[in-house]
Amino acid sequence: MKKSALPLQNACGGSKNQSLGKEALVKLLRWHFGHPEFRGKQLDAIEAVLSGRDCFCLMPTGGGKSMCYQIPALAKKTGIVLVVCPLIALMENQVMALKEKGIAAEYLSSTQATQTKNKIHEDLDSGKPSLRLLYVTPELIATPGFMTKLRKIHTRGLLNLVAIDEAHCISSWGHDFRPSYRKLSTLRSHLPGVPILALTATAVPKVQKEVIESLCLQHPLILKSSFNRPNIHYEVRYKDLLDDFYADLSDVLKSSGDVCAIVYCLERTMCDDLSAHLSKNGISCAAYHAGLNDKLRSSVLDNWISSKIQVVVATVAFGMGIDRKDVRIVCHFNIPKSMEAFYQESGRAGRDQLLSRSLLYYGIDDCKRMKFILSNADNKKSKASNSQEELSKKTLTDFQQMVEYCEGSGCRRRKILETFGEKVPASLCGKTCDACKHPNLVAKYLEELANTCIVRQKFGSSRIFMSSSSDTINEDRTSEFWNRDDEESCSEDDISDSDDGLAVKNLARSKLPKKLGISGKIECLQRLEERYYPDKSSDKQINKPEKNATSDTLREASKQRLQNALKQAQQRLGNLKIEVEKSASFLENECYNKYGKTGKSFYYSQVASTVRWLSSADYTGLTNRLGTINSSLSDNAPPETEPPAAPSPLVEGPTEITSSDFHDSVRSETSVAVSLTEIASPSTRLPPIPSFSQFINTKKTKDNRSSASEKKSPNGVQKNLEKRMRLQ
């Protein structure tokens, strides 16, 4: 039901507009919007602009920035508030919501019927507009005709405020630069004396400065709220460690109930594919991207807003300004390009302040792909920009922050806030991110991921397109997604996505080598241990294609690596007499005999474990293992002190690694052996590695204990234990 406007004399006892005090403003808020009180710094912003002062307002996503210009529009008896918005969808939504509340609001855009536009212009020209709020695009402001109209309105004293929503779009340092926003810098000189309110959720200090300078704000009141979104729980999952990340997401959504969610993907085809997969699994969802026609897009949006569908699988253009309050999960199925973009997108969760979730699926391939796209985008930008080097550096630094968010073992919330220059105590998170809640588990995943990286980097087993990227990627097609500065060629909708053709191939490729999870690896290795492997046609791992075979070159490299580790062990144990070459061959053979035929990954892991063992093995351990081929070993005197035992990384979880360790190791081209030993802290002393059978038997005993209570199959238990921990 429509509600009439609250007569101002009721709100302020009939006094003049200027004297509207807090009480009157609260009355307006309650009457029109039904909110009991102002939130955060809303009132400060409102009071500032009503007194004629410029204001820069930095509030978190969903903080209620719109209210900072909507209430002033209602607090003046006459005149309008002009609101500049980057998206038509955003204007449409806000205007619709305001009209439903009985507030006279309109927007002007090329998508509107001429008749509607004429009516708005008539009202503006009337000298006594009935409109309270007029939403426009920055492009319209830049047209001489419209500016003349605005000046006329201003001369009549009817322009009360200019509000610039999503003001970070003005800055080329921001994550969402819109060149048309630059044109807003003339507003101050054309409309002197009209207060300007700049609003944003994501401006880092450099962007804040640029916004204030570009808009020529004069002694603005600068309001900054914390970026913290305490109701959002942050989590990262590692695609490379999951059996099937499609199924994983499906499980997450199903186990969360019929909740409202947004899943962000890099490409349109990925949206279609994932949406089809989720639908097949009984999840109510639809894809949304620029490849769909207008009708389909708006029907998806309507269905989602009205809860007919629960999940939208979309490209990043979806959501800016879409105010569905009860989004419980925002999932990034591919890594975003920057922390600012991530903050803005994940911030669409929990606008009702209730508990919500941000879940990011991080994959090494996605990461490389994104780096490629960003570099590619920068190349294009360089054609128009003088400071290409600076910009490229910035883009990649921004992206690196995002990578560190995923690859670091520290608090995720803290990382987000630090990106925006906020220093926060460690206690702030209160275990509302996975890294704080399950630090050991996260550290374990990171170590597994580091190992995967090293193996893939060394042996080029990456699934991504990098090797063929240069001939497949089309610069124009990728840049559409990453840069909104191609506005001349874009529709005003500004719905933009990345390339599709490539994505199809990429997606297909990404699904090919289905990874084994822990239980899968255990099963496979067990079979090997029992010498089942030669002819098992049912074993997926055994039937891996030749490309995964352990080559002679790899074996040679491993031997070399083991030799190095043996030499170090020799030195550590007081120049122990040992036949290094022979011992290295022996150990390498052991690894090969056990795991060589399963493929290089398992073989390589075994070599890595052996190297780790050598880095801490004591005299007795070495004698036991290498005594048969080193008769000289028994002649050596044992060391006086034995290194203390440390928990087995395999069973208890790994040594925590820092993100810089991780990057160094991934970057290192020279020696994987060195990288791996560096990753495990040199001061960490590890016990002898159990044989695989010993490990399996320990694990089986544990699992049997659990299965007695869970009444599930051993494999199910192993898998569920992992999954359950992640879902907590």
Ligand X SMILES: Nc1ncnc2c1ncn2[C@@H]1O[C@H](COP(=O)(O)OP(=O)(O)OP(=O)(O)O)[C@@H](O)[C@H]1O
Which stretches of the chain bind Mg ion, using CB under 5 A?
Answer: 65
Which of Mg ion, ligand X, none does residue 191 bind (CB under 5 to 8 Å by kind)?
none
257 is written with which tokens? 């109930």
Identify the DSSP state of 585.
H
Which of Mg ion, ligand X, none does residue 201 bind (CB under 5 to 8 Å by kind)?
ligand X
- To ligand X, the closest distance from the beta carbon of 253 in angstroms equals 23
Amino acid of residue 45 = A
511 is written with which tokens? 């699904």
- 80 vs 349 by CB, closer to ligand X: 349
Whole-angstrom distance, CA of residue 371 vs CA of residue 338: 11
- To Mg ion, the closest distance from the beta carbon of 189 in angstroms equals 27
Calculate Rg over the CA atoms of the chain. Answer: 30
- 322 vs 557 by CB, closer to ligand X: 322
* Local structure of 31: helix, strand or coil: helix
Whole-angstrom distance, CA of residue 318 vs CA of residue 285: 14
Beta strands in 201-306, from DSSP E residues, in sequence order = 221-224, 232-238, 260-264, 285-288
* Local structure of 80: helix, strand or coil: strand
Which of ligand X, Mg ion, none does residue 452 bind (CB under 5 to 8 Å by kind)?
none
- 225 vs 655 by CB, closer to ligand X: 225
The number of residues making up the chain comes to 728
- To Mg ion, the closest distance from the beta carbon of 85 in angstroms equals 9
The residue with its CB nearest to Mg ion is 65
Asked if 241 and 445 touch (Cβ cutoff 8 Å), the reply is: yes
Whole-angstrom distance, CA of residue 234 vs CA of residue 236: 7
- To ligand X, the closest distance from the beta carbon of 67 in angstroms equals 4
Interface positions with ligand X (CB under 6 A): 35, 38-39, 42, 59, 61-67, 201, 321, 323, 325, 351
The tokens 């105590």 sit on which residue?
425
Which of ligand X, Mg ion, none does residue 371 bind (CB under 5 to 8 Å by kind)?
none
Whole-angstrom distance, CA of residue 190 vs CA of residue 486: 27
- To ligand X, the closest distance from the beta carbon of 322 in angstroms equals 9
- 5 vs 674 by CB, closer to ligand X: 5
- To Mg ion, the closest distance from the beta carbon of 69 in angstroms equals 10
Cα atoms found within 13 Å of the Cα of residue 396, Cβ hemisphere only: 13
**Contacts of residue 189, Cβ cutoff 8 Å, sequence gap at least 6:** 216
- To ligand X, the closest distance from the beta carbon of 312 in angstroms equals 16
206 is written with which tokens? 């450099």
- To ligand X, the closest distance from the beta carbon of 352 in angstroms equals 7
The residue with its CB nearest to ligand X is 64
543 is written with which tokens? 């039937």
Alpha helices, H only, 286-338: 294-305
- To ligand X, the closest distance from the beta carbon of 158 in angstroms equals 25
- 200 vs 610 by CB, closer to ligand X: 200
- 87 vs 150 by CB, closer to Mg ion: 87
Which of Mg ion, ligand X, none does residue 59 bind (CB under 5 to 8 Å by kind)?
ligand X
- 343 vs 405 by CB, closer to Mg ion: 343
- To ligand X, the closest distance from the beta carbon of 202 in angstroms equals 8
The tokens 């290089």 sit on which residue?
600
- 196 vs 364 by CB, closer to ligand X: 196
343 is written with which tokens? 């903050």
Q: Please state the separation of Cα 261 from the chain's center in Å.
A: 15
- 42 vs 334 by CB, closer to ligand X: 42
- 99 vs 308 by CB, closer to Mg ion: 99
- To Mg ion, the closest distance from the beta carbon of 321 in angstroms equals 6
CB atoms within 10 A of CB 415: 20
CB atoms within 10 A of CB 402: 24
The torsion angle over the Cα atoms of residues 465, 471, 476 and 479, rounded to 10 degrees, is 30
- To Mg ion, the closest distance from the beta carbon of 254 in angstroms equals 31
- For the chain, the first-to-last Cα distance in angstroms comes to 42
Asked if 57 and 211 touch (Cβ cutoff 8 Å), the reply is: no
- 330 vs 433 by CB, closer to ligand X: 330
Which of ligand X, Mg ion, none does residue 39 bind (CB under 5 to 8 Å by kind)?
ligand X
Beta strands in 157-283, from DSSP E residues, in sequence order = 159-164, 196-200, 221-224, 232-238, 260-264
Cα atoms found within 13 Å of the Cα of residue 537, Cβ hemisphere only: 0
- 176 vs 447 by CB, closer to Mg ion: 176
